[in-house]
Structure 1
Amino acid sequence: MSTHAEIKKWTLPALAAAKREGRRLVMLTAYDHGFARAADLNGVDLVLVGDSLGMVVQGRGSTLPVTVADMTYHTEVVARGLQRAMLVSDLPFQSDATPERALQASIALLQAGAEMVKLEGAGHKLEVIRFLAERDIPVCSHLGLTPQSVLKLGGYKVQGRDEQAAAQLRADAAAVAEAGASLLVLECVPSTLAAAITSASAIPTIGIGAGPGCDGQVLVLHDLLGLDSGHRKPKFVKDFLAQGGSVAGAIAAYAAAVRDGSFPDAEHSY
């Protein structure tokens, strides 16, 4: 089985190999050079420049106001802090509304240093995923609770609880992989459903509030450090700073807990 030390630089083939070998993937958000470097040096495999920056960096009430320019700036400064981890950047709200818009936003992010773009949803987004993948732009899909759809969803709620919704999530997970996505984030999904999707998935899954059965986990940096962003604290959040004693220690403790399967436990799952 691959270990942290054996991977000199994360690539798409390395991600696929990790899933085959049962090697758990560690993802963490970062928004600047210093924290990106700390993540890179302390066991994080994938660094996400999330549009969550709208809430935890800019102090906004949701991710909706975040722009491509915002994402490009933060991607550029984060990229300077990474050597080993793969850099994934979010396509912000409506920048992926059409394949052509998604392509232009993705070009900006990749030229700023991203190695993969992340987009939310399935449905008409399948055409976007296919369009980008055919143009050699790696794509991470995001299903379950999709924060850019918060107005439609009526809040930040667990998704896939009933049989019909669970069946749709399973179908969407298969569809995004078929369309060309290389990675799948599952957010706020019941543990049993996320485990079933992961077992059936041809691509690695990364959970956040989706239980321990995913191929990897992601947390927002500020949540990992126990910082109060002024928003309701989700069930899946754990303060690793108290355990690690420093920023570097907290990140290392999180990475170790993901790899040994102790995080998330039942207390931090749905």
Structure 2
Amino acid sequence: MIMEWPVADAFWTPFLVAKDKGYYKDAGLDVTITPPPTVADTMKFLGTAQADMAFTTTLDVLFARDQDAPVVATGSYGGSNNWGLIAKAPFDLPQVKGKTVGIYNDAWSKAQLSLMLNSVGLKLSDVKLVTAADDTVPLLLQDKVDVITGVTNAESSEIRSTGGFDPFFMPARDHGAPNTPIFVVAGNTEWLKKNPDQARSFMAASIKGLDDAVQNPTAALEVFKKMYPSADMGFVTDAWNTTVGILKPQQPPFVQSDQQWEGLLKAAVDQGLVKSVGAPNTYWTNDYLPK
């Protein structure tokens, strides 16, 4: 299993618990959880069958499919979009005109910001973008920008754990962006077709790990700490506890639907990220989830 980030983060917790508790082993699987060399390599590993499964993003699956890569989402990690704008104090969206916005250099962040701005009659040119190499939080804490982009269980968690305060969060889903889950589990379609029973066993064992990690976050964090003792557990703890709140409402776990994908596909075309898209159900499948 290839992951979404070169360094272990709280999002990995369900899979780490499944491995630590022997759920994969009990299912007859030998699972190796591997970080990619860079954030751009996850889909390369999955698409070229160097990995069988992946933890990745919905947009990465869309981009990979646009390049005819043999990948498909086998489970959504939560049921909503928790990306948005983060600031030290509350603000109204029209007030960002002329302000500085810390952002990452990826197409989807700019696309979602553009959709938010469009909802109040603004454009990207109405704000000054300050690109962060790998973390927008320091830009905000050091007052180098007025607002940053991020998610509730990463950037907001980092601010709480390092900055010592609870930041203001404005959800993109409430201001013109699609309510599409950010993260998914995905599989190499060729491997899935050849190994359907193993794929179902993997998803079932992962669900056990997710259920345990959600029901007992403290024990799950001990597993994380055991596997990655050098991690910043203050940040990881806040991030996982926030993630639990995102995962709990999704029942049954990992289940997907056309509705989850439709907004993303439309936005990707409207924002010029891809020229065209297929039917929503060509990007995802529930076939490997427990019946």
Give your verdict on TM over 0.5. no
Normalising by structure 1, we get a TM-score of 0.30
Structure with the larger RCO, 1 or 2 (CA within 8 Å, 6+ apart): 2
Normalising by structure 2, we get a TM-score of 0.29
Q: Rg bigger for which structure?
A: 2
